[in-house]
Structure 1
Amino acid sequence: MTDDFAALGAALPRILDGLLITVELTLGGAALALVIAIALGLAARARNVVLRGSARTVIEFFRGTSLLVQLFFLFFVLPLPPFYLELEPVAVGIVGLGLNYGAYGAEVVRGSINSVPAGQWEATTALSMSRSQRMRRVIFPQAWALMLPSLNNLLIQLLKGTAVVYLITIVDLTAELNRLRVDTDVFFAYSFGLIVYFLLASVLSFGMSLLERRAKHRLGRGDAPRGIFGSARSAKGANA
């Protein structure tokens, strides 16, 4: 066991580099996925049949095909004729993760918008709001609070999805764990990997929980995020 920890100490700089790549893939893929999810989720509700059908086709295509095959296509096929589009491996990882999880997120966005009570829609009609005002000022803020728990789950799935990106030559955390396995043993290397991924997931979940509390607080449905760290008295003061 002492030798395993010595090998871990020697490999720690490489592991930290791989960890940074994993964080970069996670945050970049999540940002792109959120943009795609909102765009496709709104388009899937459009009155225009062509726009709605196109959005549904894109959503079902990326949900119905393998993330690994999508990454291979982006990395190995796009540089070939007739595309001639060559991306850096990290960019391929971010785009692949963003497209795949953005398609899943689009269903979360669409379902959350549909879950806003009918009375809210009727109120915006009574106030003679335009479609953009209705969505921006009333419907989407309420849908945002509803969709955050599901988006949190997708974010954790995306983090774990980064583990397959090393197959397109990206030296991420999983790739470094495989190298650590050679210097130690299977149990030690992958047990350490489980702990690191768990800690990353915990940090992301905590951040998403703060966003959820903030979204609900803006709607008057809960304490402000600072109430998590403050005393009961400070939380009451925030609600006053």
Structure 2
Amino acid sequence: MISSWTQLLPLPLQGARITIVVALLSAGVALVLSIAVGLARLSGLRAIRWLSTIYVEFFRGTSLLIQLFWLYFALPFVGIELPKLLAAVLALGLNYGAYGSEIVRSSILAVPKGQWEAAIALNMKPWQRMLYVIIPQAFVRMLPPLGNLLIELVKGTSLVYFITLADLTYQAMVLRNNYIAWTPQILALLLIMYYMINALIAFAIRLIERKASVGRL
């Protein structure tokens, strides 16, 4: 029998480590996709814009849980069997990358027209305009919504419970099944741990925002 809160902690702490690993890897995939697809949506080539739009609309328009099920449960029927961690990272990365790409695209478009014209007047090449003038200004605009998206991603990692990846939610449910009488305490601990992880992320994002905003109007 459990007699104190401290006896509840070992399994959730193990699960929190998996949750953080999944979140970090998924965030890396999502960030790369956000930038690549966000820029692709602004491409002068219609085929690239078309393909990137299909990706965004598909992953925004379908359930993350069903995407996860497809990657883990459906692909083996066509001979592709993914490890639990890889399936989780791909599902989260592909889904949140679609949302992130819209943040990148809209932030770039929000840069004042005068900045684009000034870069053209300086005879900069398109890649130079984007790299040295547009993206640094768009980056400051991207940070708050990307920070919010990262927090949503961390909360979304709880869905990996359904493919039995031993994350924070999974370990909490194991405890709950073993100690039904402690259900309120276990679920309260689950809430607190998710909140602490996201509070740290929010704090880090605010620090980055302040540093990135220094010297800018």
Does TM, normalized by the shorter one, top 0.5?
yes
Instruction: Indicate yes or no: 2:136 matched with 1:153.
Output: no
Asked if structure 2 preserves the Cα contact closer than 8 Å seen for 1:44 and 1:52, the reply is: yes
Task: Give CA-to-partner distance per residue, 1:123-158, whole Å, 9 cap, x none.
Answer: 100011111111111100110110100001100100
- Amino acid of the structure 2 residue aligned with 1:104: Y
Query: For 2:74, which of 74, 77, 80 is the aligned residue?
Result: 77
In structure 2, C-alpha distance between the alignment counterparts of 1:121 and 1:78, rounded to whole Å: 45
- Amino acid of the structure 2 residue aligned with 1:21: I
Task: Give CA-to-partner distance per residue, 1:169-203, whole Å, 9 cap, x none.
Answer: 20110011112223143221111111111110000
**DSSP-derived class of the 1:175 partner:** helix
Give 1:4 deviation, angstroms.
5.3
**DSSP-derived class of the 2:175 partner:** helix
Asked if structure 2 preserves the Cα contact closer than 8 Å seen for 1:33 and 1:105, the reply is: yes
Give 1:215 deviation, angstroms.
1.7
Query: For 2:190, which of 189, 193, 198 is the aligned residue?
Result: 193
Asked if structure 1 preserves the Cα contact closer than 8 Å seen for 2:22 and 2:157, the reply is: yes
Task: Give CA-to-partner distance per residue, 1:39-68, whole Å, 9 cap, x none.
Answer: 110000111111001101100000000000
In structure 2, C-alpha distance between the alignment counterparts of 1:76 and 1:58, rounded to whole Å: 21
| CA separation of 1:5 and 1:209: change in aligned 2, threshold 3 A | farther
Structure showing greater relative contact order (alpha-carbon pairs closer than 8 Å, 6 or more residues apart):
2
Query: For 2:30, which of 26, 30, 33 is the aligned residue?
Result: 33
Question: Aligned runs of 1:1-240 on 2, under 5 Å?
Answer: 6=4, 8-81=5-78, 84-182=79-177, 183=179, 184-217=181-214, 220-221=215-216
In structure 2, C-alpha distance between the alignment counterparts of 1:191 and 1:86, rounded to whole Å: 35
| CA separation of 1:117 and 1:198: change in aligned 2, threshold 3 A | same
Identify unmatched segments of 5+ residues in structure 2: none
RMSD of aligned residue pairs (Cα, Å)? 1.4
- Amino acid of the structure 2 residue aligned with 1:134: R
In structure 2, C-alpha distance between the alignment counterparts of 1:176 and 1:86, rounded to whole Å: 24
**DSSP-derived class of the 2:9 partner:** helix
Structure 1 runs (4+) greater than 3 angstroms displaced: none
In structure 1, C-alpha distance between the alignment counterparts of 2:100 and 2:129, rounded to whole Å: 22
Asked if structure 2 preserves the Cα contact closer than 8 Å seen for 1:33 and 1:99, the reply is: yes
Identify unmatched segments of 5+ residues in structure 1: 223-240
- Amino acid of the structure 1 residue aligned with 2:142: M
Asked if structure 1 preserves the Cα contact closer than 8 Å seen for 2:11 and 2:172, the reply is: no
Match of 1:237 in 2: none
Q: How many residues align?
A: 215
**DSSP-derived class of the 2:92 partner:** helix
| CA separation of 1:155 and 1:195: change in aligned 2, threshold 3 A | same
